[in-house]
Amino acid sequence: MFLSVFDLFKIGIGPSSSHTMGPMTAAARFLDELLGSDWPRPANAKVDRVAVSLHGSLAYTGVGHGTDRAVILGLAGLIPTTVDPDQSDAIIDRIAAEKRVAPPGHPSYRFDPSADLVLDKKTPLLGHANGMAFYAYDADDHLLLKRIYYSIGGGFVVSEEELQRLKTRSEPATGTPVPYPFRNAVEMLSMAAESGLSIAEMKRVNEEKHVSRDELDAGLDRIWETMKGCIDRGLSQEGIMPGGLKVRRRARQLHEKLQEEWRQNRPNPLLANDWLSIYAMAVNEENAAGGRVVTAPTNGAAGVVPAVLRYWLHFHPEADQGSIRDFLLTAAAVGGIIKTNASISGAEVGCQGEVGSASAMAAAGLCAVMGGTPEQVENAAEIALEHHLGMTCDPVGGLVQVPCIERNALGAVKAVTAASLAIKGDGKHFVPLDAAIETMRQTGMDMNERYKETSLGGLAVNVVEC
């Protein structure tokens, strides 16, 4: 199945693509189903009340990740792309007071968040760790419709039936066939060699089977502008992040110190790493505060790609708008291979699937715009991913703050290092990218559920105990 650059890079809100954006999208899908006619209902039956239950990882860390808020906003008819984070509190407070939701195009439904939104930690849904069930009742509280959805990472949402097709690999190809339908790195390199095109050029040709060149470029520019805006907001904000851990924003203060060093021309052998880290932290502090971010490929890993791109623009005089687009296209090509053959979800494979994937994508993008061959680009992605293998997802307090913010900074540093190592070689290397991706998938399958975004193990318990 074709994965667009706009599937991997989605504009939305924090703090989590799988726990915030996904549930909000699932609520929108449920509302669409309520208006549909392809589900059986008694004659003259009308939906009067809606309810939701969250299961698995969504139940354990839902409050910390804003899942409860996302579901409420979704049932009010809002979607991640356009919801205004500054208006969210007022909307949620109004629904809690009125105990009703009135999404556009729908009648008003009874919905009391205190009773109709349940975090069910006892009943896992077997399909996926991020499961949720939506219910519709008539005025006599007879169940009319129940739908189960799974948030599978990066803001992607599937129904039970869609999930089964994905698991059995039996889902047919959909949409317009593309000229370069590579599903893995071996195919990608083979097609690049045969066509003489770069990875970004092949990805562009594929994308232009679905949108015009102008639409593609405008979309890519919008992604970067949103990423850049997120960095800038993060560098301008200070104070305590929400959630109860009382973690203080640091990006602005660190940025001011770096600017002072820059003005005084002080020698700093770690200068590039410092800028990378601050850019990534700025994004993830914004994400933790529920601000506007871009999945890259997830919210929890949203800082890596923007930080490396900003580094490219900061330290490389040859950087231009065209190179930004090539960076994003190359990164999306690698991200699509990872998602197709393994996972980008922390709830499925741990943080190796989030920050590890983001670092591989960023390394590939940077290597490409620095003039790397397809073989060097594949090598860069492999180096970055290999050195995140086994990384757990263990957010303290269920919040996307500790260790997530600093983890993005180190993921960005690893990405630049990987690209630098790869471009100094000839592209030949011992471990193929496909082997690293398969290893990540197998490691994720073996990983204990306590280390998959449930906050039941690792730092999530040991920091509290200390």
Q: Taking residues 169-196, report their average pLDDT.
A: 85
Within-domain flag for 176: no
In terms of domains, do 163 and 216 share one? Answer: no
Within-domain flag for 177: no
In terms of domains, do 158 and 251 share one? Answer: no
In terms of domains, do 148 and 219 share one? Answer: no
Q: Taking residues 5-10, report their average pLDDT.
A: 97
Give 264's pLDDT tier (boundaries 50, 70, 90): confident
Q: Is the pLDDT of residue 164 over 90?
A: no
Residue 3, classed as helix, strand or coil, is coil
Within-domain flag for 178: no
Contacts of 116 (CB under 8 A, 6+ apart): 49, 50, 51, 52, 110
Percent above pLDDT 90 for the chain: 88
Within-domain flag for 5: no
Tell me which amino acid residue 124 is.
P
Domains: count for the chain: 2
Q: What is the distance between the alpha carbons of residues 45 and 31, in angstroms, rounded to a whole number?
A: 16
DSSP 146-184: EEEEEEEETTEEEEHHHHHHHHTT-PPP-SS--S----S
Q: What integer pLDDT is reported at residue 371 of this predicted model?
A: 98
Contact (Cβ atoms closer than 8 angstroms) between residue 22 and residue 151: yes
Taking residue 27's Cβ as centre, other Cβ atoms within 10 Å add up to 28
Contact (Cβ atoms closer than 8 angstroms) between residue 116 and residue 50: yes
Which of these ranges, 10-19, 159-168, 380-389, has the smallest mean pLDDT?
159-168
Q: Cis before residue 317, ω within 30 degrees of 0?
A: no
Contact (Cβ atoms closer than 8 angstroms) between residue 324 and residue 353: no
pLDDT in tens, 123-159: 989 899 899 999 999 999 999 999 999 999 899 999 9
Within-domain flag for 11: no
Q: Is the pLDDT of residue 171 over 60?
A: no
DSSP 40-80: ---TT----EEEEEEEEHHHHHTTTTTHHHHHHHHHTT--T
Within-domain flag for 172: no
Q: 316 phi and psi, to 5 degrees? A: -120, 110
In terms of domains, do 118 and 203 share one? Answer: no
Which of these ranges, 5-19, 255-269, 328-342, has the smallest mean pLDDT?
255-269
In terms of domains, do 160 and 203 share one? Answer: no
Tell me which amino acid residue 393 is.
C
Strands 49-56 and 117-120: parallel
In terms of domains, do 130 and 226 share one? Answer: no
In terms of domains, do 154 and 234 share one? Answer: no
The DSSP symbol for 424 reads T
Residues in the chain: 466
Q: What is the distance between the alpha carbons of residues 174 and 159, in angstroms, rounded to a whole number?
A: 17
Task: Check: pTM over 0.85? Answer yes or no.
Answer: yes
Q: 168 phi and psi, to 5 degrees? A: -90, 0
In terms of domains, do 377 and 286 share one? Answer: yes
In terms of domains, do 77 and 158 share one? Answer: yes
Q: What is the distance between the alpha carbons of residues 395 and 450, in angstroms, rounded to a whole number?
A: 11
Within-domain flag for 3: no
In terms of domains, do 197 and 121 share one? Answer: no
Taking only Cα atoms into account, the Rg of the chain, rounded to an integer number of angstroms, comes to: 22
In terms of domains, do 314 and 410 share one? Answer: yes
CATH assignment at residue 58: 3.30.1330.90
pLDDT in tens, 365-410: 999 999 999 999 999 999 999 999 999 999 999 999 999 999 999 9
Within-domain flag for 8: no
The DSSP symbol for 430 reads S
Q: What is the distance between the alpha carbons of residues 85 and 287, in angstroms, rounded to a whole number?
A: 11
Type and span of the H or E element at 12:
strand 11-13
CA distances (Å), origin 184, targets 47, 152, 210, 415: 46, 20, 21, 20
Give 1's pLDDT tier (boundaries 50, 70, 90): low
In terms of domains, do 29 and 130 share one? Answer: yes
Q: What integer pLDDT is reported at residue 418 of this predicted model?
A: 98
Token digits of residue 302: 């949203």
Q: What is the distance between the alpha carbons of residues 294 and 288, in angstroms, rounded to a whole number?
A: 13
Q: What is the distance between the alpha carbons of residues 332 and 327, in angstroms, rounded to a whole number?
A: 9
Give 174's pLDDT tier (boundaries 50, 70, 90): low
pLDDT in tens, 283-308: 999 999 999 999 999 999 999 999 99
Tell me which amino acid residue 209 is.
K
Q: Domain containing 124: what range?
A: 17-167
